[in-house]
Chains A and B, each alone.
Chain A
Amino acid sequence: DVKVTQSSRYLVKRTGEKVFLECVQDMDHENMFWYRQDPGLGLRLIYFSYDVKMKEKGDIPEGYSVSREKKERFSLILESTSTNQTSMYLCASSLGGANYQPQHFGDGTRLSIL
C-alpha cells in the first residue's frame, strides 16, 4: 500500500512564525500535492509538484511556498503565519502522466495559528 506520511498531526504556532510542513511518500510517485481543507469549502489546492525541483501554483498559493529537493519529500512553507492560515493541511501523491490514477493522502496536519 502507498504510504504518505505527514510529519506532524497537530501544530500550534503564533502569528508571524515560520512553519514547515513535511510530507514523505514511499511509492516513487512523480506528483505530489498540498491542499488545505476548511469546513464547507472542501479541499483547495495550494501547490503541486510533478518532479524534483518542479512546482506549480494551485488555486490558493498566496502566503505559501514549497520545496521538493528529493522525489519522496514535498515540503510546504508558511513564511510568516497569519490566523487565516489556521486549517487542516493535507498532502497527497500520485503517479505521473495522464493515467487517471487516484491521489493517495496523508492523515493531515491540523495547524492552529494564535
Chain B
Amino acid sequence: AQSVAQPEDQVNVAEGNPLTVKCTYSVSGNPYLFWYVQYPNRGLQFLLKYITGDNLVKGSYGFEAEFNKSQTSFHLKKPSALVSDSALYFCAVRGSGGYNKLIFGAGTRLAVHP
C-alpha cells in the first residue's frame, strides 16, 4: 500500500537560515510525489511535484524538493527562510487506481522566527 511519513510534527528555523521539511514514502511502482502548503484558515496550495526526470524539483515561492530513490525520500527545502513561510506543509503520494487520488502525510508545522 502507498504511504507517506512526515517524521517531524514541527520544524523551527530562524529567518534567513535554510530550511528542510522531511518526507519519506512507500509505494509499489514509480512514485509520484507532491508538496502542498496550508496557511491558517485556508485550503491547501500546490507547491511542486515530482513525476520523473531531474531529482531536484523547483516550485513556487522559492521552494524546491530533492527526490532520493535509494532513501525513498522527498524532502522540501528552501535556501533562506522567511517569516511568511510559517505554515503547515503536507507531503503526498499519488495513490493507486488512477483518478489522481492522493495519500497525504500527517503534516509538518514550520515556524520561522525573526
Which positions in A face B, CB cutoff 8 Å?
4, 9, 31, 33, 40-45, 48, 50, 56, 58, 90, 92, 94-96, 98-108
Contacts and interface: CB of A to CB of B under 8 A. Distances in A.
Label chain B's interface by main secondary structure: loop
A103 B102 contact: yes
Interface stretch (B11-19, B73-81, B104-112): B104-112
Interface in B94-114: 94, 98-102, 104-107
A106 B99 contact: no
Contacts of A98: 98, 100
A43 B90 contact: yes
B40 to A, nearest CB: 11
Contacts of B90: 42-43
| 4 closest A-B pairs by CB | A105-B43, A102-B46, A42-B104, A43-B104
Contact of B100 (A31, A43, A106): A31
Contacts of A31: 99-100
Contact of A102 (B9, B49, B107): B49
B101 A100 contact: no
Residue with the highest number of chain A CB atoms closer than 10 Å, among B34, B90, B104: B104
Contacts of A33: 101
Contacts of B44: 43, 90, 92, 103, 105
Given A31-B100, A45-B101, A107-B41, A100 B94 contact: yes
A107 B43 CA distance: 4
A107 B102 CA distance: 18
B83 interface: no
Given A42-B90, A42-B105, A42-B106, A99 B43 contact: no
Given A42-B90, A90-B43, A107-B41, A95 B106 contact: no
Contacts of A108: 41-43
B45 interface: yes
A4 B44 CA distance: 11
B100 A101 contact: yes
A70 to B, nearest CB: 19
Contacts of A102: 34, 46, 49
